[in-house]
Structure 1
């Protein structure tokens, strides 16, 4: 790979703090034997508690990990240790002839990629697809009609009554929407319970905003035929209608969706998990070096399933992105991705005001945006009265969603000087995901508040 992995970037791949600790402990030469590597793959054998050593290997093109140990974590401590060892002691990886167990794995990965490509090219049974979509459409319409009546009852009774409602009141409607195959609305309904019972002074205004957003989705869905193609796609997305990657590629080939060829800066990534479904969602935020276009790569995994870790935050990736249709296209998939490399310069908005204006313009086009990436240059971490924020060159401040310990770590990285910070903005606070400072990139541990 053209990109050079730092130890901080490797450790950011770890699934938890225990894996970080154990991976570091295994990044020593005396723990390994039969180390080898090529431009594509690394491998080594690590003696564990059993008779035979564990065989660990890394496909650097993504990266992807495989290990013969019984761990359910991905990557496991052996994969992390092997990767860290290669970063610090490349000279130890002397073998370049792939062992059979490594060659078999690489061959299987190539075969899987080929089958996926063939599947994408296979013709779609449009008649059967249309029948499935109509059946689901009927279910969704019925569920939305029930949701509309439910919202009217809440408004008629008054917001104060919602604080007396049990969790079952909210979960019952959410479950109804799941049955109606409208998961996007179900998620929003579940969030209402947390707002109503948050105990915050402004809970009523926040609840009214959330209810209003759901109401607008309902009204938009019931009038899809009167909306522009882009706005209708945004409304359907909020309801929970999804477009598979195969369908998206088909639309691209017919010229129905847009694409962008660029060198994409991987600004940062975050990981969230839905406690109700055990669904993990990873967001990877990209910025086109030439187009200045923002893009979002979404990856999903359930429970202990591995999740894509191929996008290296802080790197520059030449690729073509195909965008899902929307009134403000953000989500995309890539095709013909090339090797990543280190960026020569880091872009970003010069002030907080410019960054918020970029968010405002996006919100005008899609008012249901829940998170939006901000990349701001020359900001300094600031601490006051128990709260963290950043200050720009014009002495404007932006509040951060930051655990106290992580705040001090951020301040230590900056050394009290300005840095370039990227985070997810929710309209109230900025959650830091990564910073550039003194020529290096520091990434927040995925799944944590810095």
Structure 2
């Protein structure tokens, strides 16, 4: 069982700040009636306001949580408190035989895993009717083509009129054409159009950013109109941008990449009760990045929980792309903690060169992972920067508030540190920081 979980890694799993604060309050031995552990499972009973104590348990191999409390948050404050207690006072949780309520939970988890594996195997064995599938693809291609032609005319009109009048236009203008793209079965285009509407009122340089996005839309249109002449992976990238989704079972039939993967960063975002979480992995042997996407509605838990700063031996399968980043876990072992920061690119110039090469292969990359070593945070009038030893600087995200900026500077103490961030072509959003052998999360 890992012996070096940190409080930052545990708190990164909290669904919100209130849960993190409440969990911190329960991270003391006096709050627990009983505690125990066996191999990779820990459990405890915490007395709450009710007659019976709440039973919390954690399978550290994922980690996975369960608690008998009525909270709809996941993990709840009891799970967080128990995990924090393990991270900060591991000697308080003694090795013992698990009670019945723990063994029953483990047995049910094992049964669910077996059933899920059986269902997945059956789905992979089923062969879809190729004729019916070809008809569905052709019908969607027809609808998307009609929508693409309508979007081209709309964009021509916008550019012909110029961008200066856009701030006076209502949101309805953007929403109408976006809704038309949804009808044309191209939801990816609808998302980009609605994002464009939000850029117009976000700073003095809005026109440059709008023009860049319009150019990418034109590139999508040009690519789709000659899609049959392009390489297969480029066709897949185009369809993904338009909103075509690939079946996970189909993806998992691809080549598996086995490595020791470091969970280098994580960020969760919420929009209209749909929570999305991006988890970045880095292959130690292959020097490859992988992106795992998880989605959950409301307070429902994410399907998988990976702690930044931990390692896991796993086989990943990447989604087809001209520059593969998104992946699925096919098989995995228990996560472990190693007292070692990840290797990184030494200079910012080298990192941007890597990004440029990736963008040449796939111009649709919205976020690109940059793992930088020996950089120092700086504060200037326009915002926060990272500077490498060659004096090259990289601007940090405008969304970084003053507290995070000063926290980053305090962690560095004026000395170089290692960071993992998402680069969007203009700004870097920091997700993780390593100071010597210690990990700190900035992802939420």
What is the TM-score of this pair, normalised by structure 2? 0.93
Are 1:40 and 2:50 an aligned pair? no
Match of 1:147 in 2: 151
Residues 1:390 and 2:392 aligned together: no
Q: Do residues 325 (structure 1) and 327 (structure 2) align?
A: no
1:214 alignment counterpart: 217
Distance 1:274 1:356 in 2: 30
**Inter-partner Cα distance in structure 2 for 1:373 and 1:44:** 38
CA deviation map 1:304-335 (0-9, x unaligned)? 22124522212222212111101111111122
Q: Which residue of 1 aligns with 2:165?
A: 161
- The question of 1:266 aligning with 2:270 is answered no
Q: Tell me the distance in 2 between the aligned counterparts of 1:21 and 1:136.
A: 49
Hey, what does 1:305 align to over in structure 2? 300
**Structural mapping, 1:11-90, within 5 Å:** 11-90=11-90
Map 1:26-425 → 2, pairs under 5 A? 26-94=26-94, 96-122=96-122, 123-127=125-129, 129-198=133-202, 200-250=203-253, 252=254, 258-275=255-272, 278-308=273-303, 310-341=305-336, 342=338, 344=340, 346-385=342-381, 387-401=383-397, 402-425=400-423
State whether residues 252 and 330 of structure 2, in contact with CA within 8 Å, keep that contact through their aligned partners in structure 1.
no
Distance 1:390 1:420 in 2: 11
Tell me how far apart the structure 1 counterparts of residues 303 and 6 of structure 2 sit (CA, whole Å): 19
Q: Does the residue aligned with 1:117 lie in a helix, a strand or coil?
A: helix
Once structures 1 and 2 are overlaid, which stretch shifts more, 435-444 or 310-319?
A: 310-319
In structure 2, relative to structure 1, the CA distance for the partners of 1:107 and 1:146 (3 Å cut) is: farther
SS of the residue corresponding to residue 383 of structure 1 reads strand
CA shift at 1:149, angstroms? 2.5
Give how far 1:95 is off.
5.5
Change (3 A) 1:222 1:107: farther
Question: How many residues end up aligned between the 2 structures?
Answer: 437
Cα displacement (A) at 1:3: 6.2
Calculate the aligned-residue CA RMSD, in Å: 1.8
**1:268 and 1:422 in contact (8 A); partners too:** yes
- Aligned equivalents of 2:92 and 2:139: distance in 1? 59
Q: Kindly indicate whether residue 437 of structure 2 is the aligned counterpart of residue 439 of structure 1.
A: yes
Give distance in 2, aligned partners of 1:3 and 1:52. Answer: 31
Q: Is the 8 A contact 1:374 1:423 kept in 2?
A: yes
Deviation at 1:431, TM superposition (A): 0.8
Shift of 1:369: 0.8
Do 2:314 and 2:329's aligned partners in 1 also have CA atoms closer than 8 Å?
Answer: yes
Give the secondary structure class of the aligned counterpart of 1:390. Answer: strand
Contact kept in structure 2, 1:351 and 1:392, CA below 8 Å: yes
| Kept after mapping to 2: 8 A contact 1:3/1:340 | no
**How far apart are residue 7 of structure 1 and its match?**
1.0
1:181–1:71 distance in 2 versus 1, CA, 3 Å: farther
Change (3 A) 1:335 1:42: same
* Runs of 5+ unmatched residues, structure 2: none
CA distance in 1, matches of 2:3, 2:231: 42
The one-character-per-residue Cα deviations of 1:387-434 (angstroms, maximum 9, x if unpaired) are: 111111111111112211111111111122111111111111111111
Name the CA distance, whole Å, in 2 between partners of 1:134 and 1:78.
Answer: 52
The SS at the match of 2:355 is helix
Q: 177-186 vs 67-76, which deviates more?
A: 177-186
**Closer, same or farther: CA 302–180 of 1 in aligned 2, 3 Å:** farther
* Residues 202 and 336 of structure 1: CA distance in aligned 2, closer, same or farther (over 3 Å): same
CA contact (8 A) 1:34 1:95 kept: no
Work out the CA distance in 2 between the residues paired with 1:118 and 1:33: 40
Shift of 1:125: 4.2
Shift of 1:379: 0.8
Taking a change above 3 Å as real, the CA distance of residues 148 and 304 of structure 1, as seen in their structure-2 partners, is farther
Q: 1:137 to 1:305 in 2, by over 3 A?
A: farther
